[in-house]
Amino acid sequence: MAIRLYDLAGAEDDRRFSPYCWRVKMALMHKGLAFETIPWRFTEKDVIAFTGSKTVPVIVDGKQAVYDSWEIALYLDEAYPSRPGLFEGTESRALALFLQHWAVRSLHAPLLRVILLDLYRHVHEKDQAYFRESREKRLGGKLEHVAGDPMKSLAEFRGALEPLRPGLAQNPFVCGKGPGFADYIVFGTFQWARSVSPQRLLEPDDPVYAWRERMLDLFDGYARKAKGYPVGA
């Protein structure tokens, strides 16, 4: 039976905007595993209560439920060792964990401010109050105020990408010759934006731009086919 993934959706069933769910979808494609996604909204806590998690991604693989994108990646490599690995070995796994925490701290914070109102515009009607209340509590102010100057946040986001550029100028992927989970971590962040926001994030001469194009092309254009806004110039 195919793996089931509870996948955060917006007002439309096919608008999937969770950066963490995108990590998992790319990981499942990487491993070549059959899966189906189930659209899920923030307020449908009861639907996934049986898994012990209040948030997605959650996968259900036979009788096993696993949540948290990092734990899911570890699970997939352990449960399916004969499939392509998401990590080259224990060292690259440790370094990818570092990169994951860097991404959330350095990339998500400025990008959230860039796309905050676009996100709010796209969440399901029944999630709007939850989204506003939880995000305003976390960010310490009204959505409309916290968003602030999107161009300033965009400049901060572009600057924060700097440590990725030298590697992407010499290798096709963050993980070097081929994509690995560290690529899916950073790419999830971009898909988060692409799914809800028309804001152009990168200049075409940025090595991160060319990398994102390669990521959109992976697995027969799986991510490019997903509902979202054009990322190009």
Residues at the site binding its own copies, with contacts judged by CB under 8 A: 87-99, 101-102, 105-106, 162-167, 171, 173-177, 180, 182
Residues in the chain: 233
Reduced 3-state DSSP string for 101-122: HHHHHHHHHHHHHHHHHHHHHH
Strand partners, 176: 173
Between 63 and 138, whose beta carbon lies closer to its own copies? 138
Between 76 and 196, whose beta carbon lies closer to its own copies? 76
Q: How far is the CB of 11 from its own copies (least distance, A)?
A: 34
Between 138 and 177, whose beta carbon lies closer to its own copies? 177
Between 79 and 95, whose beta carbon lies closer to its own copies? 95
Q: How far is the CB of 111 from its own copies (least distance, A)?
A: 16
Q: How far is the CB of 181 from its own copies (least distance, A)?
A: 10
Between 55 and 128, whose beta carbon lies closer to its own copies? 55
Q: How far is the CB of 20 from its own copies (least distance, A)?
A: 16
Q: How far is the CB of 84 from its own copies (least distance, A)?
A: 12
Q: Is 232 left (phi over 0), alpha (psi -120 to 50) or beta?
A: beta
- Do residues 192 and 157 make contact, with C-beta atoms less than 8 angstroms apart? no
CA 89-102-210 angle, to 5 degrees, is: 80
